[in-house]
Amino acid sequence: MYVKDIQTGICEKHGEPAVEKESAATALVDGRNLLGPVVGNFCMELAVKKARDVGVGWVVAHGSNHYGIAGYYAMQALKENMIGMSFTNTSPLVVPTRGKECTLGTNPISVAAPAADGDSLVLDMATSAVAIGKVELYERRGDPIPEGWGCDARGQLTTEPGRVLGGGGLVPLGGSEATGGYKGFGLGMMVEVFCGILAGAQYSKNIRTWKETSRVADLGQCFVAINPENFAPGFSERLSDLLRIQRGLNPANPDIPVLVAGDPERMHMKMCEEMGGIPYHMNVVNYMNQCAQKVGVSTLLPCDRLISN
């Protein structure tokens, strides 16, 4: 997707994001249609700088593109012992409660907070019940999806992935109205307020559809850093204790421990470290090698071990 954005020229390849308006604690940034990670890194760095000075930095950008993993930016603040947040609006894939048309993206919320000894809480969640990729996976497998993930073209919850993908849409976190779907809808709207509305970017159903490249994305994004030093002493120790309380809970199923946000990824990283590398399916390696060949970069992925299972 990123390569295509560069090849079609729909993204800018050169230049730097520009600060359009600034105060000690805030900034409005023009992403100048550069790749999302370029805009995101620029804005998060600025937010951390402001939080160092006045305790909080709130930076929003318009003219941005898909920025990858929301949590990546929030986690930049951890290096400075700060709380980081990042939000982005996205292409319409979510049907509001009571509706039957997609007018919001999966609009993620990410928050990272530093605990003691390098530990942390890292929340990175779509405000829909699941990502669209998960529904696609179930369709490919031919499996039904759990009720509460998506709806059909008439706005009715469905367990058939094909109906979600063919004219329906994802539903907000919470599922049906009875189980609190309107709260997920409200959270998606909050993210849109922090992104498209605050930044003056595209918003809601005006955002180009997923993978469309006929016009610029002009996404809105929001980056926040909060310095615990400006509040009560002992932040990291209290957070460690909070994490300890949750992880130490007696689980409902003795074989499935209680985890906090960020733990599954931490466990995967530990596994990779023990393996001495990141495992990919051979099909992914082959596909990436083909991509590399097409764009004329080295196909030599450092793939030095084959594991079968």
Minimum CB distance to a second copy, residue 85 (Å): 9
Side-chain half-sphere CA neighbours of 30 within 13 A: 8
Minimum CB distance to a second copy, residue 284 (Å): 26
Q: How many Å apart are CA 63 and CA 54, to the nearest integer?
A: 27
251/277 with CB nearer a second copy: 251
The torsion angle over the Cα atoms of residues 63, 69, 71 and 77, rounded to 10 degrees, is -60
24/303 with CB nearer a second copy: 24
Number of Cβ within a 10 Å radius of residue 240: 17
34/226 with CB nearer a second copy: 226
Q: Which of 74, 10, 31, 21 is nearest to 211 (CA)?
A: 10
55/162 with CB nearer a second copy: 55
Minimum CB distance to a second copy, residue 37 (Å): 22
Q: Rg of the chain's alpha carbons, rounded to an integer? A: 21
Minimum CB distance to a second copy, residue 175 (Å): 6
179/293 with CB nearer a second copy: 179
Helix (H, G, I), strand (E, B) or coil at 63: strand
Helix (H, G, I), strand (E, B) or coil at 16: coil
Minimum CB distance to a second copy, residue 190 (Å): 5
Backbone φ, ψ for residue 42 (5° rounding): -60, -50
